[in-house]
């Protein structure tokens, strides 16, 4: 009973966050249509979330300076995950983007081996084969005999890669609490967003006050709570299990994209996607071989 109770809270937190990220494409596309580009949107929304949350967070700069490489890695991984995913769902097809993003369990296993010293078994190799095979099937274009990737695809894959690193580092960094990890993550989004604005020379959006108010509300009432629940969830369960629970986002994303945007997923994409999901599902049930 204790084990079930210990899993319920983190699982519920991750399901909430997955649902939010399954529908976040809708308001971000609305704001994009109102003139607020993706990098500016993430910059203002996460700055608002950090501004509201920072007074309640008891930050210890001594702990932040401990193992600075891990903290910097978390900052950059969390920043790129959020910014790249938002840009991907604005530009690309929602289901395709989410499926490519959820190659993250494969990257999680690789990072788990490297950073946490987790051993590999036969189930791990099966999972890797299914995930990579599913990706090739989903992206393969028989007309050209190759795998064409657009910018949204690349952003989605890189966001999943960064998400896996973010989850492993969140679990590895035990000297920081949930609030401190959350502030690091949001600061990372701000840093990456500023870098994108500067690199792409994106001017300040000429949007209405109502649109900017909506972006701030999305940051405070959306990104703030969803980030807290992710950090809490992945800090209290194995990284593979948390990655699979977050797959609920795909269900929410597919349903809302079909309902609100009329997006239709091809048979080829579903076949490849099911292999990716099968690979991710194996992660939660695989037994860790002893070293």
* DSSP conformation letters of 167-210: HHHHHH--SS-HHHHHHHHHHHHHHHHHHHHHHTTPPPP---HH
Mean pLDDT score, 247-273? 84
DSSP 8-state secondary structure symbol assigned to residue 55: G
Mean pLDDT score, 112-123? 69
* pLDDT attached to residue 290: 47
Cβ atoms of 49 and 219 closer than 8 Å: yes
pLDDT > 70: percent of the chain:
84
* pLDDT attached to residue 66: 73
Query: pLDDT of 139-183, one tens digit each?
Result: 777 665 556 678 999 999 999 889 888 878 887 888 788 788 888
Q: Does the pLDDT of residue 118 top 80, yes or no? A: no
* pLDDT attached to residue 191: 96
Q: Does the pLDDT of residue 37 top 70, yes or no? A: yes
Of 89, 82, 92, give the one whose Cα is nearest residue 148.
Answer: 92
* pLDDT attached to residue 125: 78
Task: Give the model's confidence band at 109: pLDDT under 50 very low, under 70 low, under 90 confident, else very high.
Answer: confident
* pLDDT attached to residue 84: 96
Prediction pTM value? 0.82
Task: Give the model's confidence band at 89: pLDDT under 50 very low, under 70 low, under 90 confident, else very high.
Answer: very high
* pLDDT attached to residue 218: 96
Q: Does the pLDDT of residue 76 top 90, yes or no? A: yes
| C-alpha–C-alpha distance, residues 204 and 272, integer Å | 40
| C-alpha–C-alpha distance, residues 20 and 121, integer Å | 34
Mean pLDDT score, 261-289? 75
DSSP 8-state secondary structure symbol assigned to residue 147: -
Of 255, 248, 189, give the one whose Cα is nearest residue 223.
Answer: 189
Q: Does the pLDDT of residue 119 top 70, yes or no? A: no
């Amino acid at each position: 009973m204790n084990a079930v109770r210990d899993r319920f809270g983190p699982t519920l937190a991750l399901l909430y966050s997955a649902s939010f990220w399954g529908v976040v494409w809708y308001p971000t596309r609305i704001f994009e249509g109102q003139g607020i580009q993706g990098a500016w949107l993430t910059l203002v929304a996460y700055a608002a979330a950090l501004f509201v949350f920072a007074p309640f967070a008891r930050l210890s700069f001594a702990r932040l300076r401990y193992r600075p490489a891990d903290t910097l890695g978390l900052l950059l991984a969390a920043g790129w995950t959020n910014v790249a995913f938002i840009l991907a769902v604005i530009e690309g097809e929602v289901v395709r983007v989410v499926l490519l993003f959820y190659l993250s369990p494969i990257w999680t296993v690789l990072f788990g081996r490297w950073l946490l010293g987790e051993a590999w078994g036969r189930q791990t190799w099966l999972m890797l084969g299914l995930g990579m095979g599913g990706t090739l099937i989903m992206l393969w274009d028989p007309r050209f005999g190759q795998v064409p990737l657009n910018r949204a695809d690349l952003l989605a894959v890189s966001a999943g890669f960064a998400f896996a690193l973010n989850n492993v580092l969140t679990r590895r960094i035990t000297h920081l609490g949930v609030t401190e990890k959350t502030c690091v993550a949001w600061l990372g989004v701000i840093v990456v967003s500023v870098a994108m604005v500067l690199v792409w020379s994106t001017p300040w959006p000429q949007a209405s006050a109502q649109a900017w108010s909506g972006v701030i509300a999305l940051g405070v009432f959306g990104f703030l709570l969803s980030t807290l629940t992710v950090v809490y969830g992945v800090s209290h369960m194995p990284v593979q299990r948390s990655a699979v629970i977050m797959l609920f986002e795909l269900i929410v994303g597919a349903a809302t994209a079909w309902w609100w945007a009329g997006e239709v997923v091809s048979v080829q994409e579903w076949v490849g996607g099911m292999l990716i999901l099968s690979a991710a599902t194996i992660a939660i049930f695989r037994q860790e071989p002893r070293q």
